[in-house]
Amino acid sequence: MISGAATIRPLLAHSSLDPAGLHRLTAVAPAQLDPNADRPQTGDVPEPVYEDALARVMCGDSGRLLEVVGTLGANLVITSPPYSLGVDYGQAGYADDQPYARYLDWVRTWATTLLNVAAPGGRACINIPLDTNKGGKRAIYADYLRIFQDTGWEYQTSIVWNEQNISRRTAWGSWLSPSAPFVTAPVEMIAVFYKGSFRRPASGRRGDITRDEFLAWTLGTWTFPGANPRRVGHPAPFPEELPRRLIKLYSYPGDLILDPFAGSGTTLVASKRLGRASLGVEINPAFCALTIRNLQMVALAAAS
């Protein structure tokens, strides 16, 4: 279970975060905030920056999460990691343009960390594309399946998310010719893994998924639109529908949900609405602030 009080750290000082508005945070006088504080870099231990009754946010490198939370006991990991596609995630010290082999080594590092912070029977739902095209065609989904199983995760299933995004169709290879045509699948994958045993006994608890949801969502093709990055204020968010379905399908109310690449905090928002505890780790302080704001909106909506 998550414990410990959070304070606003100097690393959030550059944002327009209003300390007074944050639930259960220790307000820090503006003079104490250091606008020149170093931004976290890859390799920096995550620091707590926000906590409310259900959600906690840490700012830093999720690859070092184990050092600060120990055996956290996360019941469900839901995340969409960077794909090394050169996305601009801000000046947070994370460069999204590693050579592919180095990128896969990095995936191996945090997949191992996640296994160590997961509870026995914990599940991990990883949202990734089927293929990427940067620097040549890469079967990134297949590489994730291999790496996660190499690190000790067991494979359970894959869900095809049909986000109906056909705007990506710009490269045809050889138009109307079998010379070298490109085929692109307008879908993303959600690879589902577990730690140890997939069966999690109810032990007196009940899930909160409805009959209709269960019937629909256990068919492994999900069709709903993606999120609008401009509206969310993040370059690569997923829609709340994605974690909402995974949380109801794979966790009990009261479980702990972890997103090690929290971005705008979509997983934490969905968790909060569904009565699950959550921990989000994000390296960019501006996105940590965005996550906190989004969590506050949920609290405000619930109160009104």
Ligand X SMILES: C[S@@+](CC[C@H](N)C(=O)[O-])C[C@H]1O[C@@H](n2cnc3c(N)ncnc32)[C@H](O)[C@@H]1O
List interacting residues with ligand X (CB under 6 A).
Answer: 42, 61-63, 80, 82, 89, 92, 94, 234, 236-238, 261, 263-264, 266, 281-284, 287
Task: Give 80 or 251: the residue with its C-beta nearer to ligand X.
Answer: 80
- φ, ψ at 120 (rounded to 5°): -55, 135
Q: How far is the CB of 202 from ligand X (least distance, A)?
A: 29
Tokens matching residue 97: 């343009």
Task: Give 54 or 269: the residue with its C-beta nearer to ligand X.
Answer: 269
- Cα-Cα-Cα-Cα dihedral sign, residues 171, 175, 176, 178: negative
Q: How far is the CB of 62 from ligand X (least distance, A)?
A: 4
Contact 299, 271 (CB under 8 A): no
* Residue 5 neighbours by CB distance under 10 Å: 9
Q: How far is the CB of 302 from ligand X (least distance, A)?
A: 20
Task: Give 75 or 266: the residue with its C-beta nearer to ligand X.
Answer: 266
Cα–Cα distance between 199 and 123 in angstroms, integer? 10
Task: Give 122 or 243: the residue with its C-beta nearer to ligand X.
Answer: 243
Q: How far is the CB of 201 from ligand X (least distance, A)?
A: 30
Q: Which parts of the chain are beta strand (E)? A: 47-51, 55-59, 74-79, 118-129, 154-162, 188-194, 221-223, 256-259, 277-282
Q: How far is the CB of 135 from ligand X (least distance, A)?
A: 19
Task: Give 26 or 41: the residue with its C-beta nearer to ligand X.
Answer: 41
Q: How far is the CB of 36 from ligand X (least distance, A)?
A: 21
Q: Nearest to ligand X by Cβ — which residue?
A: 263
Contact 192, 156 (CB under 8 A): yes
Task: Give 122 or 237: the residue with its C-beta nearer to ligand X.
Answer: 237
